[in-house]
């Protein structure tokens, strides 16, 4: 694990792992860190946000 994203961004580190940015930063983070797997732990994520993030698989290819 290289880091977390957090839209509330109150902390810079969570359990010793850095917060890399917000949800909207994921496409950029995928490119920068060559991320191939993303785990989501937000049951309140909107359908629009989920669709937007589906483009991440296209970015990393």
| Of 35, 38, 42, nearest in space to 53 by CA | 38
Q: What are the boundaries of each domain within the chain?
A: 4-60
DSSP β-bridge partners for residue 14: 17
Whether the model pTM is above 0.85: no
Q: What is the reported pLDDT for 37?
A: 83
> Within its chain, how far is the Cα of 52 from the centroid?
11
pLDDT along the chain (61 residues), means of 10: 80 84 87 84 76 64 52
Cα 45 to Cα 36: distance, rounded to the nearest angstrom: 20
Element (H, E) at 25: none
The burial of 19, by beta-carbon neighbours within 10 Å (0-12 exposed, 13-18 middle, 19 or more buried), is given as middle
């Amino acid at each position: 694990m290289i880091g977390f994203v957090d839209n509330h961004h109150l902390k810079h580190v969570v359990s010793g792992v850095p917060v890399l940015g917000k949800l909207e930063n994921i496409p950029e983070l995928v490119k920068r860190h060559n991320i191939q797997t993303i785990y989501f732990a937000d049951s309140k994520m909107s359908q629009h946000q989920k669709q937007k993030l589906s483009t991440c698989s296209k970015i990393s290819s």
